[in-house]
Amino acid sequence: MSRKIRVIVVDDSALVRSLLSEIINRQRDMECIGTANDPLVAREMIRELDPDVITLDVEMPRMDGIDFLGRLMRLRPTPVVMISTLTERGAEVTMKALELGAVDFVAKPRVGLASGLNDLAAQIVDKIRVAAVAQVRRSPARDAAPAAGSAGSAAVAHAAPAAGLLGRLSTEKLICIGASTGGTEAIKEVLVQMPADSPAIVITQHMPPGFTTSFAARLNGLCQITVKEAVNGERILPGHAYIAPGGTQFHVARSGANYVAVVDDGPPVNRHKPSVEVLFKSAAAVVGRNAFGIMLTGMGNDGAVAMREMKDAGSYNYVQDEATCIVFGMPREAIAHGAADEVLPLGQIAPALIARLRGTTDRLHHRI
């Protein structure tokens, strides 16, 4: 029998610590090896017990979860699943936690805690399993200069967007991005490098309701393009990125010469809502050879079949390589389905895409 996943639970609520411990210990492949009511207690426990995964509350006494996470990821990188309250502030803090290196998060119910956490048990243990195999990297000190060629988040903040490149071609092309675990930071790295006149970008990131608003707002403040949640029926415009709202399905349709967003309450696909499969399948049908596909880090196989459909319809597809993925599941499946035209490190995807778009523009100008 393989070794169990060893988990430490850090939460200031005795009830939550007890419930999470029970949920974890019910699984054959994991065990709760300790609980702590604040980060200072947790720090010593982590040193002594060396866990595989930590579940971490956000708001705690003596040191909040974000400060603790930042220190942990700089000094002793360990896979962390955040336990976040489903509020506007909780969503903003969760985005910060993912930026600092948390692998994933669970949205903790505000009322009915005991029944709510038990309802989330399958999701909690699935995310612990994913975290246990995730590639977690040391976060640089906030005041340290990023190393040359670094693909980490510190380098992302300093990535210079490309100069304008496309003109009227940008209305014809559509860039489609799919991601899951680790995807919030990977998406950021791609988007911050895109110029203001980029083709429209449509994005499905596996995320529950209540969190994509903060995710879009955070990206909008970092990028030259406008980043927003998709709204049903709106025209999809160049220079904009549209994120599938959590808990909905998002796909693209055509209205005359324009692409439009379709956001609806369709059923889960591959257990996901939003699902990459739904978005990519619509791109294959509607956009065809004018589409570019990008598959980023994530667990599972969502979107792999539809990305191959995109390629068969004439799209050009980029897939993130294993070395730079937090979890290589979705990219691996896309490659296995023959959907990838290029497999690249995360930091090279946007430059490669921009170079290809520039080449297309140059060829167009030569024909005119």
Active-site residue list? 180, 206, 302
The answer to whether 198 and 223 are in contact (CB under 8 A) is: no
Cα–Cα dist 227/224, whole Å:
9
**CA-CA distance, 136 to 138, in Å (whole number)?**
7
Q: How far apart are CA 216 and CA 184, in angstroms?
A: 10
List of long-range contacts for 43-50, beta carbons under 8 Å, 24+ apart: 43/68, 45/8, 46/8, 46/72, 46/76, 46/78, 47/76, 49/6, 49/8, 50/6
Strand partners, 204: 178
Task: Please report, in angstroms and rounded to a whole number, the separation of the first and last CA atoms in the chain.
Answer: 67
User: What six digits make up the tokens of 54?
Assistant: 């930590």
d(CA 162, CA 181) in angstroms, rounded, equals: 27
Q: What stretches of 155-210 adopt beta strand conformation (E)?
A: 174-179, 200-205
For 296, phi then psi, to 5°, come to -110, 180
Cα separation, 211 vs 268, in Å, equals 18
Beta-strand (E) ranges in the chain?
5-10, 30-36, 53-57, 80-85, 104-108, 174-179, 200-205, 226-229, 240-243, 249-255, 258-264, 291-295, 316-320, 342-344
The token pair that represents 124 in the structure block = 């909690």
Phi, psi of 222 (to 5 degrees): -105, -20
Which residues, at least 6 apart from 192, have a Cβ–Cβ distance to it below 8 Å?
156, 157, 159, 161, 222, 223
Q: Is the peptide bond before 140 cis (omega within 30 degrees of 0)?
A: no
